[in-house]
């Protein structure tokens, strides 16, 4: 299943947030959205997920979800949103309980996603017993459990320290390499964008428009911190963003 945005624009009252966004997200790719604060990245993600409708334009789902998909679209947020009284296994099971699955089918899915996210030894642990990185792994496992056609990821690593972010980026690359998935990934972090994105969409400051789409043509499995091509791409992205990021920051301060 592919996603498309066609001439999407949006305003909140007199404030124009997005203008004329057209974009394709093909199956099996990770697309990263970056841009200055307030440029509409998270708003676009809500449109893609059907949580809001744009003022103008269309959001389309092209084709059918892959076989076995329980939820075509699922979110991974910055905040883990785990139920503190449920174990790791219980938090993952939560998203399966309203589907027509037997207990055995649920158990098989849970065992699979916990293994893929390296959580098998922690299935009975409560969230309070886990580090921040482990909690985010649970959130990712929960998203994978519904076998989504597209994962919508809104700054999922921004609340974590730098070392944990590096580990989680490695985990996401490993997950994608073993079984490619489609994702739209919103981030302020340029390192995350070049490490994880097949394409990086650079939005302008408000009203957000597409300034450029940067292709990252290195296989995900070969991307490592300090890779000279990735560092060059990161510098290219910052050159595109620097002046507008400063202007957006001053707008927020003045506001």
Decide: 230 and 218 in contact? Cβ < 8 Å. Answer: yes
CA 24 distance to own-chain centroid: 16
Name residues of the chain where pLDDT drops below 50.
253-255
Residue partners of 190: CB distance under 8 A and separation at least 6: 34, 234, 237, 238, 241
Compute the CA torsion angle 152, 44, 166, 218 (nearest 10 deg): 90
In 10 A of CB 65, how many CB atoms? 17
- Tokens (6 digits) for 238: 């910052």
pLDDT at position 251 is 64
Please provide the size of the chain in residues: 255
CATH class of the domain comprising 2-66+149-254: alpha beta
Query: pTM of the entire structure?
Result: 0.89
State phi, psi for 204 to the nearest 5 degrees.
Answer: -80, 170
pLDDT in tens, 28-64: 999 999 998 888 999 999 999 989 999 999 999 888 8
Q: Where in the chain is the domain with CATH 3.40.50.300?
A: 2-66+149-254
**What one-character DSSP code corresponds to residue 140?**
H
pLDDT at position 253 is 46
pLDDT at position 250 is 64
pLDDT at position 154 is 93
């Amino acid at each position: 299943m592919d996603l498309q945005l066609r001439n999407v624009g949006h305003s909140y009252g007199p404030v124009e947030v997005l203008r004329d966004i057209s974009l394709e997200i093909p199956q099996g790719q990770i697309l990263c959205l970056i841009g200055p604060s307030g440029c509409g990245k998270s708003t676009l993600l809500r449109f893609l997920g059907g949580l809001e409708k744009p003022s103008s334009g269309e959001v389309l789902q092209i084709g059918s979800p892959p076989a076995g998909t329980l939820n075509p679209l699922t979110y991974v947020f910055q905040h883990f949103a785990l139920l503190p009284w449920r174990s790791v296994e219980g938090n993952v099971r939560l998203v399966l309980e309203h589907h027509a699955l037997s207990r055995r089918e649920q158990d098989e899915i849970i065992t699979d996603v916990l293994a893929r996210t390296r959580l098998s030894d922690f299935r009975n642990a409560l969230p309070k017993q886990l580090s921040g990185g482990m909690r985010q792994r649970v959130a990712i496992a929960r998203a994978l459990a519904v076998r989504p056609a597209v994962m919508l990821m809104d700054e999922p690593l921004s609340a974590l320290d730098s070392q944990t972010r590096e580990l989680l980026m490695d985990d996401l690359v490993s997950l994608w390499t073993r079984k490619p998935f489609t994702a739209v990934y919103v981030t302020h972090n340029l390192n995350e964008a070049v490490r994880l994105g097949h394409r990086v969409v650079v939005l302008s400051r408000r009203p957000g428009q597409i300034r450029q789409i940067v292709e990252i043509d290195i296989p995900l499995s070969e991307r490592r911190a300090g890779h000279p091509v990735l560092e060059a791409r990161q510098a290219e992205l910052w050159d595109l963003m620097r002046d507008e990021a400063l202007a957006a920051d001053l707008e927020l301060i003045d506001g």
